[in-house]
Structure 1
Amino acid sequence: MAVFLLGLSAACCLGFGFVLQQRAATRAPLADFLSFRLLLDLIHMPDWLLGVALMVCGQVLGAVALAYGEVSLVEPLTATNLLFAMVLSRRLTGQPLGWNGWTGVALLALGVTAFIVAGRPAGGGAPAGALRHWLVFGIVAGLALLLTLKARRLPRSGEAALLGLAAGLLYGLQDSLTRVCGQIVQDDGLGVLAVSWQPYAVGVLGLTGMLLVQSAFEMAPLRMSLPSLTAAQPIAGIVCGVGFLGDRLRFTAGALAVEAAGLASIVAGVVLLGSHPAMPAGVAEEEPVGAARLR
């Protein structure tokens, strides 16, 4: 129960934080797109700082949840951050949920429930060897890099979607390494953690993911990037959890079918909620492209 509450609390902070960050990012100069100067511009905006504070709070709560629960359990719970983002966006815009909104809510909630009940995520499995560890790590990180490079060749909406997808993969990988850091502290103490590579990789992944997310938020409305971000993070986390952390899921034919249906339901719910009119518009919908680039 503590893991469930921590996961949902983390999702609440993340959802609220993403909405506030996007509202601020639309006011940043487009010349700083995919540049760390963008973060320097945003740091002067109070609403962005509040959004980042909420996001950090969510990440801390998520890390605590990961210390007591498996990645395969915590990640589906944090995917509900889109529900909380919808609550705040609806409050800001006054837009009713309607059939699309309520259907998205139901699909996301049912998908998370179905995956957890059918998969019964549990720890205790033998961690993978170095080869498998680095293979899974390299595939997830490499896919995020390819998506980022591909995004530069697409229109704004596609660019934001792929950047959100890449950031979600990095955040899922970051969550997995956060779990590893917690295990190192429990087994060997803080001294061993300080000389391990994992905590520094967590910092690099978090900073890179933040740059991708803010660039996506700056480029297009929230509905273009948040669905792919929210859908990719739990999938990447589950892949890493099962791939090299020793997480165990039920692999009977019936369980696999329900787990797959649950993940599909999560993705469908995320897409429906992310495309809802209540999600705040970005610069692309508020002013002409030429005017935006001249700011």
Structure 2
Amino acid sequence: MSHTLLAAIFAIGAALCIAVGTVVRQRTAAVVPDDSIGALGPITTLVHRPVWWLGTVVGFAGYALQASALGLGSLLLVQPLLVLSLLFALPLGARFSGRRISAREWLWAAALTTSVAVLVIVGDPRPGEPRAETHHWIVISAIGLPFIALCLFGAHRRTGSARALLLGLAGGTLFGVAAVLTKGVVHLVSLGPHAVLTSFEFYALIVVAAVATSLQQSAFQAGDLQASLPATTIMEPVVASLLGFVVLGEYLDADRKVAAVLVLALAAMAAATVALARGAANDDAIAAPRTPVG
């Protein structure tokens, strides 16, 4: 079995685990009242809930599969496949909310599946370097940190949809950066424990992943999942794929004619992702209404 095919299988498995873990954690976070939020956000309350831990463990399993996929394939291959988590979340969310999946949602699901297949098969993603250089991380930090800071500043001053959107954008961006760091750490694992423990990527990954997870939970708790879930789901593959292309030198093996098809597929994937994420958010709003404060 080729490394590309194995990477695709691991990525699809990761998407399934991510779907289950996300739905469980969304439903748990959505009912946390504002007066129960601690200094670290809603996580201070959620860690006392066994159901949240179940979703977290499944999510970690998804991350392990994602890391395995990134060790074998490029970011341009793995990250679009992870968007299929929304496809898996569709029937799960519908079952929890006690409703049937509409014909419109099935059409969006078909569009998502087709667009991802076109990007992966027709685009034929080619790998680049396994790790980013130090000067790359300096540039990424110089651009990324102010963007994250602006999102957090805006979220602190907003409520409802605007707050959820800004936190979702910040969390999704950091998850995209974490994907690049993960690819580097997986490469270092093959060189031995000393290479991992003395690397910048290993410690940066721990910090970035922890902050991204906290921001994601805060976005879920903000109440409007129709804003936070699409933002997080779109930003992660966009940021990771962009960094894979610009920083690691990954590319799609396509001529100009095929490139036009890939652009259309990318637009279709983005539209389908937003539509399905909003549907998943509606399911959670129905099944897990917010607990009133006061």
Q: Structure 2 length as normaliser, TM-score?
A: 0.89
Q: Give the letter aligned to residue 56 of structure 2.
A: V
Alpha-carbon spacing, 1:216–1:103, altered in 2? closer, same or farther (3 Å): same
Q: Which residue of 1 aligns with 2:279?
A: 276
Alpha-carbon spacing, 1:247–1:151, altered in 2? closer, same or farther (3 Å): same
Larger deviation, residues 192-201 vs 155-164: 155-164
Q: Which of these residues, 236, 239, 246, is aligned with residue 239 of structure 2?
A: 236
Q: Which residue of 1 aligns with 2:260?
A: 257
Alpha-carbon spacing, 1:43–1:262, altered in 2? closer, same or farther (3 Å): same
Matches of 1:34 and 1:103, distance apart in 2: 41
Q: Which residue of 2 aligns with 1:246?
A: 249
Q: Which residue of 2 aligns with 1:166?
A: 170
Alpha-carbon spacing, 1:214–1:276, altered in 2? closer, same or farther (3 Å): same
Contact between 2:97 and 2:286, CA under 8 Å: does it hold in 1?
no
1:143-292 alignment, distance < 5 Å: 143-186=147-190, 188-250=191-253, 252-276=255-279, 279-281=283-285, 286=289, 292=292
Q: Which residue of 1 aligns with 2:120?
A: 116
Contact between 2:173 and 2:236, CA under 8 Å: does it hold in 1?
yes
SS in 1 for 2:89: helix
Q: Deviation digits for residues 16-50 of structure 1, max 9, x if unmatched?
A: 11111111112323145584152121011111111
1:89 equivalent in alignment to 2:90? no
Q: Give the letter aligned to residue 292 of structure 2.
A: A
Q: Which residue of 1 aligns with 2:293?
A: 293
Tell me by how many angstroms 1:79 deviates. 1.0
Alpha-carbon spacing, 1:99–1:155, altered in 2? closer, same or farther (3 Å): farther
Q: Give the letter aligned to residue 142 of structure 1.
A: P
Alpha-carbon spacing, 1:212–1:78, altered in 2? closer, same or farther (3 Å): same
Matches of 2:145 and 2:77, distance apart in 1: 22
Q: Give the letter aligned to residue 189 of structure 1.
A: G
Q: Give the letter aligned to residue 124 of structure 2.
A: R
Q: Deviation digits for residues 192-231 of structure 1, max 9, x if unmatched?
A: 1101111111111111111111111111143332111111
Q: Deviation digits for residues 44-85 of structure 1, max 9, x if unmatched?
A: 111111111111111111001101111110000111111122
Alpha-carbon spacing, 1:252–1:228, altered in 2? closer, same or farther (3 Å): same
Tell me by how many angstroms 1:147 deviates. 2.1
Matches of 1:184 and 1:282, distance apart in 2: 45
Matches of 2:139 and 2:128, distance apart in 1: 21
Q: Deviation digits for residues 218-258 of structure 1, max 9, x if unmatched?
A: 11143332111111111111011112123222363223322
Matches of 1:259 and 1:143, distance apart in 2: 28
Alpha-carbon spacing, 1:6–1:259, altered in 2? closer, same or farther (3 Å): same
Matches of 1:103 and 1:174, distance apart in 2: 32
Alpha-carbon spacing, 1:72–1:145, altered in 2? closer, same or farther (3 Å): farther
Larger deviation, residues 25-34 vs 64-73: 25-34
Q: Which residue of 1 aligns with 2:72?
A: 68
Q: Which residue of 1 aligns with 2:135?
A: 131
Q: Which residue of 1 aligns with 2:7?
A: 3
Tell me by how many angstroms 1:125 deviates. 5.4
Q: Gaps (5+ residues) in structure 2?
A: none
Matches of 1:236 and 1:121, distance apart in 2: 16
Contact between 2:151 and 2:166, CA under 8 Å: does it hold in 1?
yes
- Identity of paired residues, percent? 29
Matches of 1:260 and 1:214, distance apart in 2: 32
The count of aligned residue pairs is: 289
Matches of 2:289 and 2:93, distance apart in 1: 16
